[in-house]
């Protein structure tokens, strides 16, 4: 229970169906240390208070788990390392894989829970052979399967997604019917541990102990000509357009590459962002094993981008080659590429250079 309307409504639905429900919330960073900062996501002091209020309304036990150390190790540290390596991290996938459906799952089992339920917009089905399947939510605008592609068969077996067949307006209506104080609570799309008043770069600098100007370097065009200076290469991500502050270009300019070794940031036109294929590593197949050969799928290279027809060819070492039916813009190392067969999430992997 994050204190938002989705997880609160999930708890309300399960309680209404007669389940024995226990509310668990996660404290994932030092709220007291950051009490003067407005966070963009979940699990602030106010959010945890809202979760307790909902639990009281539903007459269910509620506990807050201190997962700060684990969250730092599994999510924040890789997030910082990703930017320092010139890649674009996906912390929400890491949080789901290593915290919510691993450590949190273990904590729930330790108190005797048979299932864990969340407010994710996704669905779980079972195929003819008894294997669990992860499917897109009915509300495709809210679908969150992209962030869940690393779930295993055991994790899907023990998970419940009560909101999978509902739309967001229907969820809010149910929350109002249940008298939940969070029924009209505003939702956020920000990274939870990055303050709204600052940027992710501040997190990187604080965590890595970076001195001002320590990672300054050149901004160059695709021909290697120096066109500007920057004060930190980790402040740039592939596909970024805003904040370049170079001026004098006739067309829109984007970040094409970030090199952590030379500290150079390469910029160019949108056409230079287009890719026909990529290699993914640490590929995970939800069914438990990779296909025997190339398969036709729809692939998504960023959480809010449209699916694109593609051919996936499994390679050795848990890798795969993804060849798109047409050029795709915005492919960034460090992000996830997720594979679908219509509404069935097959799995995915991590984009390499």
pLDDT, tens digit (0-9, with 9 covering 90-100), for 115-127: 999 999 999 999 9
Q: What is the mean pLDDT of residues 70-97?
A: 93
Q: Which CATH class is domain 5-177?
A: alpha beta
d(CA 15, CA 286): 29
On the question of pLDDT at 216 being above 80, the answer is yes
State what percent of residues in the chain have pLDDT above 90.
Answer: 78
What integer pLDDT is reported at residue 249 of this predicted model? 59
At 174-195, the pLDDT tens digits run 999 999 999 998 876 667 777 6
At 20-47, the pLDDT tens digits run 999 999 888 665 454 444 344 556 778 8
On the question of pLDDT at 250 being above 70, the answer is no
pLDDT band at 197 (very low <50, low <70, confident <90, very high): low
What integer pLDDT is reported at residue 241 of this predicted model? 82
The fold adopted by the segment(s) 211-268 is SH3 type barrels. (2.30.30)
What integer pLDDT is reported at residue 339 of this predicted model? 98
On the question of pLDDT at 321 being above 50, the answer is yes
What integer pLDDT is reported at residue 37 of this predicted model? 44
- What are the angstrom distances between the C-alpha of 89 and each of 71, 81, 129? 15, 9, 35
- Mean pLDDT, the chain, rounded, equals 90
At 103-152, the pLDDT tens digits run 999 999 999 999 999 999 999 999 999 999 999 999 999 999 999 999 99
d(CA 23, CA 58): 10
> Does an H or E element contain 217, and which?
strand 217-220
Going by C-alpha positions, the residue among 301, 279, 235 that lies closest to residue 80 is 235
Which residues of the chain are in CATH 2.30.30.280 domains?
211-268
Which residues of the chain are in CATH 2.40.30.10 domains?
274-351
Q: What is the mean pLDDT of residues 57-78?
A: 93
- What are the angstrom distances between the C-alpha of 291 and each of 121, 262, 287, 313, 328? 27, 39, 9, 9, 24
What integer pLDDT is reported at residue 32 of this predicted model? 45
**Catalytic center residues:** 95, 192
The fold adopted by the segment(s) 274-351 is Elongation Factor Tu (Ef-tu); domain 3 (2.40.30)
Which residues of the chain are in CATH 3.40.50.620 domains?
5-177
Least confident piece of the model among 41-55, 57-71, 73-87, 324-338: 41-55
- Backbone phi and psi for residue 127, each to the nearest 5 degrees, phi listed first: -85, 180
Enter the pTM of the model.
0.91
């Amino acid at each position: 229970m994050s204190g938002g309307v989705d997880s609160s409504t999930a708890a309300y639905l399960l309680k209404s169906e007669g389940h024995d429900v226990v509310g668990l919330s996660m404290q994932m960073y030092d709220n007291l240390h950051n009490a003067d900062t407005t966070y963009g996501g979940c699990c602030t002091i106010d959010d945890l208070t809202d979760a307790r209020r909902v639990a009281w309304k539903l007459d269910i036990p509620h506990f807050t788990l201190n997962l700060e150390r684990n969250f730092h190790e599994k999510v924040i540290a890789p997030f910082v390392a990703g930017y320092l390596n010139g890649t674009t991290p996906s912390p929400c996938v890491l949080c789901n894989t290593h915290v919510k459906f691993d450590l949190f799952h273990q904590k729930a089992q330790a108190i005797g829970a048979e299932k864990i339920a969340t407010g994710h917009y996704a669905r779980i089905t079972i195929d003819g052979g008894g294997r669990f399947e992860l499917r897109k939510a009915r509300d495709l605008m809210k679908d969150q399967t992209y962030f869940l592609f690393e779930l295993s068969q055991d994790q899907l077996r023990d998970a419940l997604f009560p909101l999978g067949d509902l739309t967001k307006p229907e969820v809010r209506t149910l929350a109002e019917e249940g008298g939940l104080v969070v029924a009209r609570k505003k939702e956020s799309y920000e990274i939870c541990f990055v303050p709204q008043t600052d940027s992710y770069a501040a997190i990187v600098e604080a965590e890595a102990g970076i001195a001002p100007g320590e990672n300054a370097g050149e901004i160059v065009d695709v021909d290697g000509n120096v066109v500007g200076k920057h004060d930190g290469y980790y402040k740039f991500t592939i596909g970024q357009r805003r904040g370049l502050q170079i001026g004098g270009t006739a067309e829109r300019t984007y970040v094409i590459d970030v090199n952590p070794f030379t500290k150079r940031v390469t910029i160019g036109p949108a056409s230079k962002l287009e890719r026909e294929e990529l290699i993914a590593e640490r590929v995970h197949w939800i069914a438990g094993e990779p296909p025997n050969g190339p398969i036709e799928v729809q692939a998504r290279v960023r959480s809010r981008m449209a699916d694109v027809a593609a051919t996936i060819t499994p390679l050795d070492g848990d890798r795969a080659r993804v060849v798109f039916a047409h050029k795709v813009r915005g492919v960034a190392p460090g992000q996830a590429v997720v594979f679908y067969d219509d509404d069935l999430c097959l799995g995915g992997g991590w984009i390499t250079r």
